Amino acid sequence: MDGFLPQKLLRKGLVWLKSRHWARNSISPRYALAEAALIGVFGALSALFLKQGIAWLGGIRISLVNQWGAIAILPFSGLFFGALAGLLLEYVAPTAGGGGVAQVKASLARFAVPLSLKVAFVKIIGTILILGAGLTLGRRSPTVHIGAALAAELTRLVPTSPEHRRQMIAAGAAAGLAAGFNTPIAGVMFVIEELMRDVSNLTLETAIVASFTGAVVSIILQSPDLSLPSSLLPADSISFSPQDIPLYLILGISGGVLGALFNKGVLKSVKFNQSLKMPLWQKIGLTGLVCGSAIALLPPYFRDNAGLREFLVRGELSWEQIALVLTAHFILTIIAAGSGAPGGLFAPALIMGSSLGYLIADIGGFWMDIDARASFALAGMGAFFTGVVRVPVTAIVMIFELNANFNLVLPLMVTCAVSYISAEAIQKGSMDQLLLHHMGFDLEDENHNDSNRQKNFLRELNAGAVMQTNVETVSPRLQVIELLDLMSLSSHRGFPVVNNGKLVGIVTQSDLVKVRNPSSLLLTKEIMTPNPITVPPDAYLSDVLYLLNRYTLSRLPVVQDGRLVGIITRTDIIRVEVDELKADAAIKTQVAYTVYQSRSPATGKGSILVPVTSEDDYESLAKIAVAIALYHDYEIEFIKVLKIAKHLDPHSTYVDTKDARKLMLTLEKIGKKANVPTHTRIVITHHRTGLLLEIIKREYIDLLVMGWGKNSSSQEFIFSHLVDNLITQAPCELILIKLGKSHSYPHNLMARGSCLVPMAGGPNAREGLKLLPAFLNVYHKGSLPPVWLAKVSPPNGKKVDSSDLYFAVEELQPHVETMVKPLSITSTSVVDGIRLVAKNQRAELVIIGASRDGLLKQTIHGNIPDAIASKLDTTVILIRLPS
C-alpha cells in the first residue's frame, strides 16, 4: 500500500493544480515570485548539466586526440557528433537549432514558436554534442533558450494567463543567462533590453528573482564553500588612463564594424546552407567535418575552447597568435552558425572581442605607452558583443559583473556606445533580429504591431470598467421550478446565486438540463455550481478573456471582498474591443498613394470590392466575384495594396509595381470578357486594414470578397489579423473564400460532386441560400451539381424537427436548375457532422453562413467555421451579412 502513496499524492497534486483555486489565482501575481524562483533553480540545474556534459565529452575528445592525433580524431568527431545532433533536431525538435535567442524573442512577440520540455531536452543534448565535438560555438545562448523552454513547460503544468506565461518565459531566459555567466544583473538587463523591452513591475520582479536564484544556485553547486567566482583578470592588471580614450574609440569602431560584418557572414552562411539540397543532419555533419579538419590543422591551443579562452584572457599569446585566433574564430563560427547547429554566439563574440582588444592595444603600443592591455581585452569583449547582439547596456553590465572593477566602467561605456553606433550604420538589427526576419517573423510588421496594440489595450482596461453592475441574481433557496420559469422569461442563460450579498454559486441552463423531474422540494442550491470562478474588479480584460476561453465559460462574476459587484461576459469584451478598434481607425491618418487605376463606366446597381494578394488564386477569386456581380448586376473593383514601412512616405517611395500591373491587366480582361464593369487600382500605404475600411465607407461598397488561405501564425487570431478586423469592422456584407484543391470549385466544372449548405438558422444561413444560384452560375449549363441542405442535431433521443429544412428546399428549388435535397443527421459535434456529410456526398463546395460573433467565437473545439474549413480539402465560402 505504501508504494501507492506517492502516486496518490501526485494525482491529488495535479488535481489541485487544475482546480478552481488555481483558476481563480492563475491571473494573480501572488505565485509569480515563487514560480520565478523555481524557474531560476531549473535554469541553473540545466546550465550546470550542460556545462558538465560539454566538459565530459570535450575531455574524451582531447584524450583521444592526445592518443591518436588531431587529424585522425577531430574531423571524424565533428562529422559523427554533428550528424547525431542534426538527426535529433530534424526528427525530434527542429526549433531547437541555433543559439535559441531568436526563438525566444519570437515566442515573446506572440508568434507560434514551440517552447517545451522536448525543445529543452534536444537543445541540451544537441549543444553537448556540438560543443563537445569542438565546434567554435558557445553554451550561453542555449542556456537562455533552455531556461525559457523550461519556464514555458512549467506554465503549462500550472494554469496561467498568456501574459503571465510571457513573463515567466522571459524570467526563464534571464535565469539561463545568469546561470551561464554567473551574472544575475546582466540577465535582468538582457530581458529588458533585448527580449521584452518592458520595465513593468512584474517583468522586473520575476526577472530579478529568477536571475539571482539561477546565479546563486549555480554558484552553490559549483562552489561548496559559497565563494564567489574569481574575476577574469587580477584587479591590478586593469586600469584606465584618459590618454587611452582615442584607442578605445578605435576599438569601439572596430568592434562595431567587425560585429556587423560577422552578422552578415552568418546570414549568408545560413542562406547558403538552406540552398543545399540535403537533410539537416547531413549539413551539420558536413559542417562538423569541415570545422574539425580546420581545427586539426591549427595550433594545438585551438583544440580546447575553454583552455583557449584562458590563454587569451590572461594575455599569454603573442600578437600573431591572437590575430590567428580572431581570424580563425571569425571564419569557423560563421560556418558553424550557418549550419543551424545548436550553439550560441555569445562566447565566440567575447573571444573575438578579447582578441581584437589585445590587437588594438598592441598596435597602439607602437606610439604610446599602454599600461593595461587587459583593459582593452575586456573592453573589446563588450565592443564585439555589442556589435553582434546590439545590447550595449547588457554588455557593459555583464563584463563589469565578470570582473567587478570600476576602472572598466568608462572604457566599456565608450567602446560599447561607439560599437553600437558603428554597427547600426552598417546594418540595422542584431543577429537575432536578422535571423527572425529571414525566418519570416517580422517583428515590425503592421499586423503584428496592431496585434500587440490590441493586447496592450486589453491590459489597460479592467473588469470593473466594463462589467455590468445591474445583475439579476437568485437565492440559493429558490425552488428549481421557479428558476425554470425565470430562465424562460430572461435573456440570460445563467444567474449568480447570492446569499446576504455574498456570492455562493452560479446556476446555468446546463445545470437545469441535468434535472430530469424537478419537484417543488428541489432548491437552487442543490443544483448550482458552488464556489465558482470569479475575478476581482481590477482584473485585466486579457486575463478575463483567458479564463473565459480556458474554462469554456460565457460569463464571470466580478467579486470584491466576497460580495458580488457585477458580471462580465464575452459580449462586453467584444463591445469595448470594437469601440477601441473604431477609435484607433479614426485616429490613424490613412496616408495612401494610388500608383495605378483603371475605371469602367459605373453602370452597376452596387459594387464589390476584391482585395488580391500574391498568395491568392486571383483567377478563381475573380471567377466567383464575376458570378456574384452578374447575379446582382454589380460592378467589381479589384485592389492591390502594397504596404511599406511606417517611416516612409507613400508619395515619394519607389515600389516595383510591374507584377501588380500585370495582375490588374489580367483582372480587367476577365471582367471585360464577362461584360461586368471592372475597376482596378494599386495603392501604396502603411495600413491595409484602415485603407480598406476607408474605401468601403467612402465608396459605399456593398460586398467585400476576400481569399482566405492558411491560418495566421499568431495564436491570437482565428483567420488573420486583417481578416479578423474586417469581420469585426466592415459595415458591408463579407464573403470569405477558402479555395480547395484542384478538383474543387471553381476549378472542377463537370459536376462529379455536390454542393453542401449547412442549415443552422438565422439570416446569414439564409443569405447563403440566396447567393447559391450565383455560385452555381460558374458551372456549365447542364452540368450543375446536386445541392444538399444539411442540418446537424445532437443525439438526445428526441425526434428531430426537420420542417424548416424541407421549407428551405421548397423555397430554393425554383431558383436553381438542379436537384435540391434535404439531409438531417445526428452528431455530437457540428464540425464532425459537416465533415462526414461533405465526405460522403463528395462536396466540392460548402457554403456556411455565420454572424460576426460566430466567425470570431472560440469554443472548446475551436472556432466552428474555421474548424470545418481547415479540415476539408474542398472550397469553403463563409458569408457574413452587414453588421
Find out whether 232 and 398 touch, Cβ atoms under 8 Å: no
CATH architecture of 28-222: Orthogonal Bundle (1.10)
Please tell me the predicted confidence (pLDDT) of residue 294.
93
Q: For residue 746, say if its preceding peptide bond is cis, omega within 30 degrees of 0.
A: yes
pLDDT band of 854, cuts 50, 70, 90: low
pLDDT band of 230, cuts 50, 70, 90: low
d(CA 603, CA 79): 71
The region of weakest confidence among 424-428, 615-619, 719-723 is 719-723
Query: What is the average per-residue pLDDT within 829-853?
Result: 82
pLDDT band of 125, cuts 50, 70, 90: very high
* CATH class of the domain defined by 463-575: alpha beta
854 vs 809, more confident: 809
The region of weakest confidence among 9-18, 285-294, 680-689 is 9-18
Please tell me the predicted confidence (pLDDT) of residue 578.
66
The per-residue pLDDT for range 769-793, each reduced to its tens digit, is 888 888 888 887 777 889 989 888 8
Q: Is-above-0.75 flag for pTM?
A: no
d(CA 143, CA 145): 5
pLDDT over 50 (residue 834): yes
In terms of CATH, what superfamily is 588-707? HUPs (3.40.50.620)
Query: What is the average per-residue pLDDT within 48-75?
Result: 91
Where in the chain are the domains? 28-222, 235-438, 463-575, 588-707, 754-880
Furthest-apart CA atoms within the chain: distance in Å: 103
Query: What is the average per-residue pLDDT within 61-80?
Result: 91
Please tell me the predicted confidence (pLDDT) of residue 34.
83
Q: Cell numbers 526577472 correspond to what residue?
A: 207
What single letter denotes the amino acid at residue 228?
A: L
Please tell me the predicted confidence (pLDDT) of residue 714.
40
The region of weakest confidence among 37-41, 119-123, 356-360, 486-490 is 486-490
The per-residue pLDDT for range 252-305, each reduced to its tens digit, is 999 999 999 999 999 999 999 988 888 999 999 999 999 999 999 998 888 877
pLDDT over 60 (residue 611): yes
Please tell me the predicted confidence (pLDDT) of residue 379.
92
Query: What is the average per-residue pLDDT within 664-674?
Result: 91
The region of weakest confidence among 137-151, 192-206, 231-245 is 231-245
**pLDDT over 70 for what percent of the chain?**
83
Query: Does domain 235-438 correspond to CATH entry 1.10.3080.10?
Result: yes
The region of weakest confidence among 98-102, 423-427, 488-492, 796-800 is 796-800
pLDDT over 90 (residue 123): yes
pLDDT band of 712, cuts 50, 70, 90: very low
Q: Phi, psi (5° rounding) for residue 457?
A: -60, -45
Find out whether 95 and 120 touch, Cβ atoms under 8 Å: no
Please tell me the predicted confidence (pLDDT) of residue 462.
82
Report the DSSP beta bridge partners of residue 879. 735, 849
Please tell me the predicted confidence (pLDDT) of residue 14.
46
Fill in the DSSP letter of residue 800.
P
Query: What is the average per-residue pLDDT within 356-362?
Result: 90
The per-residue pLDDT for range 481-539, each reduced to its tens digit, is 888 878 777 767 788 999 888 888 888 887 887 777 777 678 888 888 888 888 888 88
What lies within 8 Å, CB to CB, of 732 at 6+ separation is 609, 696, 701, 702, 703, 704, 882
What lies within 8 Å, CB to CB, of 498 at 6+ separation is 473, 474, 475, 504, 564
Domains 28-222 and 754-880 share a fold: no
Three-point CA angle 611, 613, 614, nearest 5°: 160
Please tell me the predicted confidence (pLDDT) of residue 803.
79
The per-residue pLDDT for range 806-830, each reduced to its tens digit, is 888 888 888 888 888 988 888 877 7
Strands (DSSP E) found in 710-832: 733-738, 754-758, 787-793, 820-826
CATH code matching the domain that covers 754-880, chosen among 1.10.30.50, 3.40.50.620, 3.30.1330.40, 1.10.3720.10: 3.40.50.620
pLDDT band of 220, cuts 50, 70, 90: confident
Q: Cell numbers 470590392 correspond to what residue?
A: 609
What lies within 8 Å, CB to CB, of 222 at 6+ separation is 48, 229
d(CA 489, CA 487): 5
pLDDT over 50 (residue 16): no
Query: What is the average per-residue pLDDT within 104-130?
Result: 90
d(CA 192, CA 554): 36
d(CA 379, CA 390): 15
Please tell me the predicted confidence (pLDDT) of residue 353.
93
What lies within 8 Å, CB to CB, of 774 at 6+ separation is 627, 628, 630, 631, 632
Closest CA to 447 of 678, 641, 619: 641
d(CA 640, CA 618): 11
Please tell me the predicted confidence (pLDDT) of residue 828.
77
What cell was used for 408?
A: 572598466
Please tell me the predicted confidence (pLDDT) of residue 484.
83
Please tell me the predicted confidence (pLDDT) of residue 572.
81
Please tell me the predicted confidence (pLDDT) of residue 521.
78
